[in-house]
Amino acid sequence: MKIPLYQCTTERIMIAGLPRNIAIIGGTMAAAIVLGIQSLWAVPFIFIGYIVLVLLYKKDMYFIEILLDHIKEDDYLFP
C-alpha cells in the first residue's frame, strides 16, 4: 500500500528565508515603524535584525518556536 507524500506537506512555507508567519509579522512591524517615525534611519536596524533572524533560523530550524514558547511560559512554578 502506497500513499503519495507531497513535498509541500513536509517542508515549511517560507518567505525570504523565514517561516511565513514570522516574515509577515516582521514586515508589518518594520513598515509600521518606518512609516510611523517617517524616517529611513530605522531601515538599517530592521535589516540587521532580519539578517540575524535568518542566520539563527538556518542554524536551528526550531529556534523561533522555542523562543516563542519561552516567552509564553510563566516565570515561576506553582507549589
Angle at 70 between CA 56 and CA 48, to 5 degrees: 30
The residue ranges of every structural domain in the chain are 7-72
pLDDT at residue 28 in the model: 93
| pLDDT 10s digits, 31-72 | 999 999 888 888 999 999 899 988 888 888 888 788 888 888
18 bridge partner residues: 15
Question: Hey, what's the torsion of the CAs at 46, 44, 52, 64, to 10 degrees?
Answer: 0
